[in-house]
Amino acid sequence: MKKYDLIVAGGGFAGCAAAISAARENMSVLLIEQANCLGGAPSNCLVNPFMPYSTKINGRETSLCKGIFQEITDNLAEFTQKYDIAMNGATFSEEYLKIILARMAQEAGVELLFRSYLSDVRTDNGTVTAITVVNKSGSMELTADYFIDATGDADLATMAGFPFRLGREEDGLCQPMTLCFRIGNVDLEGYHQIQAQITPLYREWKQQGKLNNPREDVLIFPTVTEGVLHFNSTRVVKLNPTDAMDLTKAEILAREQALELFLFLKNNFECFKNSHLLSTAAQIGVRESRMIDGEYILTGKDLVACRKFEDAIALGNYDIDIHNPEGEGTSHYYFKVGEYYTIPYRSLIPKDSRNLLVAGRCISVDHEAQASIRIMPIVCCIGEAAGLAAAQAKSATLGVSEVNTDSLREKLLRSGAELGV
């Protein structure tokens, strides 16, 4: 059985960045993904576009998420130019993204394993010694010196016995799950004329009991395809995203909501008269689930204070965007121009972990902080830092908590990351 330097579980933005950055440091890396492609939220859940990740620093518009994330967006722009596909700002093609991420991973030397589910983890006094995955080949035991949990739900860390929290502190409820969907053959010229009328009529119908979706508005984005609109407008509340039965209920309920909203639009607006329900995502989008208890729990108060940590490995300024876990309503805390917070390396380390790091939305944060750090640009930067930290630990035979963060930050800066001023 082959032993790897590093195994990364989860092929979303965080996992891809972790695997690529580590492989570029000459580590042997295996990246495991339960779907049939890389990309995570956009590839599997149709999450699109990228949420904001820049601000003005010293009077200059500055991207807070560079490094590998910048490479990805540059590659998307190059594909767009080469193949003459319309790209609208932060909106992108998920199909191109899948190809780009696979190319980047393979060019770095990452070994890929798709359609594989984590089923067991073996540990020894805070050290993960092996994991088991199930796939078409049956059951496979895999070993490595270091591991990174980029599953989004902290599956590996949880199976290893490390402590975690689920949802908000007072009742364990998580932010709602959302199944994104798309409507095709829309008269876009007509749509732009009546766009402002959709949410008011939607609310009127809700008050009359004609619609069952608890969401308070209809959130619509453009796509790269002519005549196609993207909807982030379903809302499933009070179900546990780490429970298989609840996930099944959520998928079924959200598709009913998608159909209901499609028919509402088709029957009330001329621009949707000839439209059709083009697609629903392959799986429901999960905003929040487990969050590890790490060496430092990053809080919403830390974010509002724009704290600058000495061991900062990533930046962010996306608003603290909390969709009501109980039903209608969404709260926002917006950062002022020029403001940003930092994410400490300690929040990637489960308590008492020797060789496991966590990257992505399941790092050590509270409910409020998680509502901001969860977006794709930020988790990509977290993942890149995790991969470099694993490489640094491996080179000196260190535990993940023993990594010199000054050296880690220097490596990140040399790799093109943005760590602020």
Q: Could you list the pLDDT tens digit for every one of the 421 residues in the chain?
A: 789 999 999 999 999 999 999 999 999 999 999 999 999 999 999 999 999 999 998 889 999 999 999 999 999 988 888 876 666 568 999 999 999 999 999 999 999 999 999 999 999 999 999 999 999 999 999 999 999 999 999 999 999 999 999 999 999 999 999 999 999 999 999 999 999 999 999 999 999 999 999 999 999 999 989 999 999 999 999 999 999 999 999 999 999 999 999 999 999 999 999 999 999 999 999 999 999 999 999 999 999 999 999 999 999 999 999 999 999 999 999 999 999 999 999 999 999 999 999 999 999 999 999 999 999 999 999 999 999 999 999 999 999 999 999 999 999 999 999 998 7
Answer for the pair 331, 104: CB distance below 8 angstroms, yes or no: no
User: What's the rounded Cα separation, in Å, for the pair 393 and 405?
Assistant: 11
Tokens 């576009």 -> residue: 49
Task: Look up the pTM and report it.
Answer: 0.97
Q: Please state at what angle helix 376-396 crosses helix 405-414, rounded to 10 degrees.
A: 120
The CATH number given to 3-168+288-414 is 3.50.50.60
Answer yes or no: are the C-beta atoms of 409 and 343 closer than 8 Å.
no
Handedness of CA 353, 354, 360, 365 (dihedral sign): positive
d(CA 231, CA 247): 20
Give, in order, the Cα–Cα distances in Å from 48 to each of 29, 39, 87, 293, 383: 28, 12, 12, 29, 19
Per-domain boundaries in the chain: 3-168+288-414, 181-280
For the CA atoms of 193, 196, 200, 205, the dihedral, rounded to the nearest 10 degrees, stands at 40
The angle formed by the CA atoms of residues 248, 162 and 10, to the nearest 5 degrees, is: 50
83-115 per-residue burial string, b: 16 or more CB within 10 A, e: under 16:
eeeebeeebbbbebbbebbbebbeebebbbbbe
**Alpha-carbon gap, residue 177 to 252, rounded angstroms:** 12
Tell me how long the chain is: 421
How far is 199 from 217, CA to CA, in rounded Å?
5
Rounded Cα distance between 367 and 177, Å, is 15
State the pLDDT at residue 33: 98
Pairing of strands 220-222, 290-292: unpaired
pLDDT for 84 equals 64
